Amino acid sequence: MRCLIQRTSEASVSVDGQVIGRIGEGLVILVCAMQGDTEAEAGALAAKVTKLRIFRDGQDRMNRSVLDVGGAALVISQFTLAADTSRGNRPGFSTAARPEEGEALYKAFGKFLSELGVPVETGRFGADMAVSLVNDGPVTIWMDTAS
């Protein structure tokens, strides 16, 4: 699985002009299931994300996790993280999981985060979404279970 994490002071996701998820301090997590991914990878990635020390401590160092700061997660499905741009000008997405597998793993990832103690809001799988956020720092981190 792949994810792009952005530390945020606030974020929301809308579908058809209606806000369906909103958080304050925490993480916006764009998630992509790849072919061959399993729930074990979703769980491992969720566990790693919850422990990632990217929030400021009292000395202004990145030394606290989303759990440490009482933050939340806005989890958004993002199959375009599977983009292959090695040929031509149009990205290919053939390495992304099939939609039904991708949706199941996206939901599993959110469930694992919640079970680990992070309040979770989500987008809507397969929908055309508008994501708004204030990237705090900015801090943006790429994670991939394959590496």
Query: Which token pair is 55?
Result: 């929030």
79 is catalytic: yes
Neighbours of 107 (CB within 10 A): 15
Catalytic residue, from 6, 8, 50, 78: name it. 78
Residue found by looking up tokens 């999981």 in the block: 97
Q: How far is CA 43 from CA 39, 56, 93, 109, 138, in A?
A: 6, 25, 23, 6, 26
55, 79, 109, 112: the catalytic one is: 79
Is 78 one of the catalytic residues?
yes
Please give the Cα distance from 126 to 129 (Å, whole number): 9
Q: Indicate if 55 belongs to the active site.
A: no
Q: How far apart are CA 117 and CA 120, in angstroms?
A: 9
Active site amino acids = 78-80
